Amino acid sequence: MTATTEPTGTHASGSTADPAADPTAGPAVGTAVGPVVGQPDRPGRPDRCGRQLIPALLRVTEFRRYWTGQTISAVGDQITTIVLPLVAVSTLHADAGRMGLLTAAGWLPSLLFALHAGTWADGRSDRRRVMIVADVARAVLLLTVPLAYLLGVLTLTQLFVVAFAMGTFAVLFDVCNAPLFVAVVPESRYVEGNSLVNGSRAMSSAAGPGMGGGLVQLLAAPLALVADAVSFLASAFALGSIRPTEPPAEPQARGRISAGLRFIATTPIMRAALLGTATVNLFTFMIAALFVLYATTELGLSAGLLGTVLSAGALGGLIGAAVTGRISRRIGIGRAVVLGLIAYPAPLLLVPAAHGTTLPVVALLLAAVFGSGMGVMLLDITVGSLFAAVIPDRLRSRVSGAYQAVNYGIRPLGSLLGGVLGSTLGLRPALWVAAIGALTSFLWLLPSPIPGLRTLPDAQEEKGL
């Protein structure tokens, strides 16, 4: 699974659970229109038994609609996670090198555009509208694939272009999502908010790949992408139904583009987290680029069985989202981050270890995605909450863009490296290199202040760390 960790706190597009899987400060940003953020819709009425089972944040209209849109979109993302590579493999017969290029195309915009996109977003006060446009654009892009297939003109080149364009709109969505998250979640509920969003992401990981595999078997693989297009439209509708008070636009000034990078470079927590997550992303995206090809050709799994493996493994994500708050309170938020950066990549060692008949292969892959899914939730929630606490409001989009430029920008390099090693060394040896490399990522955190953090710091405290 590929880590989705970034300074947004939440992120519906491109989130978790690929075979290889999916994070901001200061005072709370304004008050949402309607009920006060963090308070139930009807605070004067006693809760009934059913309402007592509903987390407090989900009883807040603004957050509930925001969360619903993120959840629906995440389900569609997980369908595409398995369907798009299957389109390349089964319909267009892509080899390891082209699979690496396809994965790289989706993440290259982070390297090229994230830094400037974050600066641009901090200069706007209508970030929510930008996110709506990004959702609609991605729906249209996805629909071009089944259309081209029905017309008999679908090519790998088109898949590369669609992946690159979708990655570009994902960058815009993500840098705007950073300030929106803290506009709908009060500072005292950052861990809860991240747990809910990442928990629904885990549930989507359970449902999405299985749905995708089933749709591929019932329909042609390109036609299954219609489901993700619909989910983007649903996300746009949900975003259009809320009116949170967004942070004001940042005035034009010299040095705005580099401000996010400077903040990361001079803040020990941010610097160590970036080095750790970028390292794990480099190696896990080597796995992501090769996993579908490895599972279907070398291990002989069908599309339906592959989807079932990924869906069952996402149970680990649900458990991880459920227990992260308890773990962080018991051992401290900093040690929980370190633990997540170990628990996420360690189970991936089972991927290249899988061999033999179908039963032991499926058992090992189930253990790999279950354990990795649990670990990535622990990592994403704790790092997301940590970033939500330490990044100043005025820098949120710029820090998000700068962080993405490195953390996401390294992903296409991992994909390309995975394709090269898979073509030269073979799929299994390349997966061993990637899995072992990913496990070293936690070493960046050890000399930093992160392991010593018991609770979330604030932006002012972080200056002294």
Tokens standing for 308?
């079932």
Give the integer Cα–Cα distance in Å for 75 and 82: 12
State the Cα–Cα distance between residues 437 and 256, nearest whole angstrom: 35
Residue 261 pLDDT level (bands cut at 50, 70, 90): confident
Q: Identify the pLDDT of residue 276.
A: 95
Give the Cα separation of 114 and 168 in Å (integer).
9
Tokens 């706190």 sit on residue: 9
Mean residue pLDDT of the chain comes to 79
At residue 435, the pLDDT reads: 95
Distance CA 412, CA 170 (A): 15
Q: Report the SS3 class of residue 101.
A: helix
Best CA proximity match to 197, nearest among 332, 18, 458, 22? 22
Q: Is the pLDDT of residue 331 over 90?
A: yes
pLDDT at 53: 67
Average pLDDT (369-381) is: 89
5-9, 200-204, 446-450: which range is least confident on average? 5-9
DSSP code for 56: G
Other C-beta atoms lying within 10 Å of the C-beta of residue 286: 31
Mean pLDDT of the region 16-29:
32
Asked if 280 contacts 332 with a C-beta cutoff of 8 angstroms, the reply is no
The pLDDT of residue 158 = 93
Please report, for the chain, the start and end positions of each structural domain, with discontinuous segments joined by +: 57-462
What per-residue confidence (pLDDT) applies to 14? 37
Mean pLDDT of all residues in 364-390? 88
Residue 12 has pLDDT above 50, yes or no: no
Identify which has the larger pLDDT, 30 or 123. Answer: 123
Q: Which residues of 56-82 are buried (b: 16+ CB within 10 A; e: fewer)?
A: ebebbbbbbbbbbbbbbbbbbbbbbbb
Averaged over 323-331, what is the pLDDT? 89
For residue 356, what pLDDT band results from cuts at 50, 70 and 90?
confident
Instruction: Compute the average pLDDT of residues 329-349.
Output: 94
Nearest to residue 106, comparing CAs of 175, 163, 22, 170?
163
Per-residue pLDDT, averaged over 177-190, amounts to: 79
CATH of 57-462, one of 1.20.1250.20, 3.40.50.2300, 3.40.50.300, 3.30.365.10: 1.20.1250.20
Percentage helix, strand, coil for the chain under 3-state DSSP, each rounded to 5: 75, 0, 25
d(C-alpha 305, C-alpha 40), whole Å: 42
In terms of Cα–Cα distance, which of 449, 118, 441, 399 is closest to 278?
441
The mean pLDDT of 449-465, rounded to a whole number, is 68
Please state, in angstroms and rounded to a whole number, the distance separating the CA atoms of residues 437 and 280.
Answer: 8
- What is the average per-residue pLDDT within 143-170? 91
pLDDT tens-digit readout, 402-433: 887 888 778 778 888 998 999 899 999 999 99
Do the beta carbons of residue 121 and residue 176 sit within 8 Å?
Answer: yes
Best mean pLDDT range from 1-10, 354-363, 385-394, 405-414 = 354-363
Q: How many angstroms separate the CA atoms of 105 and 411, rounded?
A: 10
Nearest 5°: phi and psi at 349?
-60, -25
Per the model's pLDDT, the better-predicted residue between 448 and 107 turns out to be 448
> How much is the pLDDT for 13?
35
pLDDT at position 358 is 86
pLDDT above 70 (res 216): yes
pLDDT in tens, 39-77: 444 444 444 545 556 777 888 888 888 888 878 877 777
What secondary structure does DSSP assign to 269-306, as a single string? HHHHHHHHHHHHHHHHHHHHHHHHHIIIIIS---HHHH
pLDDT of residue 39: 41
Do the Cβ atoms of 195 and 325 come closer than 8 Å? yes
Statement: residue 264 has pLDDT above 60: yes
Beta strands per DSSP E along 10-73: none
Continuous H helices in 18-60: 49-52
The tokens for 152 are: 């008999």
**Where is pLDDT greater, at 203 or 150?**
150
Segment among 94-108, 120-134, 203-217, 393-407 with least mean pLDDT = 203-217
